[in-house]
Structure 1
Amino acid sequence: MVLRKVLYFIWKLSMGSMATKSAFMCGGIQIHDTSCVLCGCAKETMDHLSTECTIVRAVWWHFCVWTKIPIMVDISSFRDVKEGIDRMKGSAKWKNVLVALAYETLWRIWKAHNDRVFEGTPFSVLHIVEAVEEHCSFGLKTEQHIKA
């Protein structure tokens, strides 16, 4: 079960309208430091925040281990994650579950990024992974209870 706010976020992401530092610069807003607030090594773009950042790659590594899918090493955008899932062997239902989990993971990455920017909260890979696992296990339990 994917929350509406997550679907809205994914829609905004697909439209290229996320509020990253590079997007602000393109919109004419002057920012002194455009580097990623998580790793500090690259320009903060949505592709960087969603897949390229070394810190975020650790989240995706945990995602792959948790879902027992091959480690995605050649991803440079969220579209690459979705396309990688689509190319995997397995039923359409399983792939839909993986995509929903990936959406939730990306939402949690974005939320943790914003918590870092606006509240100074440290970015924790394990906290993100645990939050996704907790949300998804709750969703599965709720779905099983409804079907019973």
Structure 2
Amino acid sequence: MVGWSNSNDSWRWLGDHSRVYSVKSVRKKLMEDRVGVGCNVVRWSRWAPIKCNIFAWRAVLNRLPTSEMLIKRNINVESTLCLLCGSGEDTIDHILSGCLVSSLVWQQISVWCRIPQIFAFSSKDIMEIHSSMDLGKREKEILHGIIIIGSWRIWKARNLKLFEEIEVKIEDIMRDIKALGFLWLKNRSKIGDLVWDNWCRNALM
């Protein structure tokens, strides 16, 4: 509905509830958008590709286009349900730590790496899980990369379901994690003598 009035045209600032523009309100808005940048620093994996490290960084900062974030930007979405399990909200914390699919992936990674069962409540917990394990420096570095690659592959499965309607299969996700992990670790680290059969039995050997 369009209304007419005799008042003069004016600009309104939408960054503050008062609709009044001020340097203070701009600064407040900028600080709100930067929440977490200083306190949620992600340590990058030295051997995982940049695309996977950037994904991990954006996940911890909650800067990925989930339904939750699209709605905050006033973008209409058909559903807010998780595309992987259909039972939770499509947030990055749910996708990486609360979803049935991701839980099964972390369970299989735990068995594969012969470490205690991975439990997490947020994407930040997932990215830091390696530091809480009773492992040597080399094993922690390998596990860190595997976790980042696993998270990136789970996100990729979610996007394949959304854009190409490809059904999610745990075995496909795990196959890619193992294959890509082996390829990248062997060629992007100093562990050049990595053997496929040993890797498949236990990635942290």
Is the shorter-chain TM-score for this pair beyond 0.5, marking a shared fold? Answer: yes
Moved more, 26-35 or 57-66: 26-35
Paired residues in the alignment total 144
2:72 aligned with 1:13, yes or no?
A: no
2:133 aligned with 1:82, yes or no?
A: no
TM-score normalised by L of structure 1: 0.90
Aligned partner of 2:201 in structure 1 is none
Counterpart residue identity of residue 130, structure 1: R
Aligned partner of 1:121 in structure 2 is 166
- String of CA shifts for 1:63-97, please: whole Å, max 9, x gaps: 11111111123x11122223332111121221111
Aligned partner of 2:7 in structure 1 is none
Q: Percent identity?
A: 26
Moved more, 100-109 or 76-85: 76-85
Deviation of 1:14 (Å): 2.2
Partner Cα distance (1:137, 1:72) in 2: 21
TM-score normalised by L of structure 2: 0.66
Runs of 4+ in 1 over 4 A off after TM superposition: none
Unaligned runs of 5+ in 2: 1-46, 194-205
Unaligned runs of 5+ in 1: none
Counterpart residue identity of residue 143, structure 2: L
Partner Cα distance (1:39, 1:19) in 2: 18
How big is the alpha-carbon RMSD for the aligned residues of Structure 1 and Structure 2?
Answer: 1.5
Deviation of 1:4 (Å): 1.1
2:182 aligned with 1:137, yes or no?
A: yes
Partner Cα distance (1:54, 1:90) in 2: 27
Give the number of the structure whose alpha-carbon radius of gyration is greater.
2
Q: Residue 144 of structure 1 aligns to a residue in which SS? A: coil
Q: Residue 161 of structure 2 aligns to a residue in which SS? A: helix
Partner Cα distance (1:99, 1:54) in 2: 21
Contact 2:97/2:122 (<8 A) preserved:
yes
Aligned partner of 2:115 in structure 1 is 69
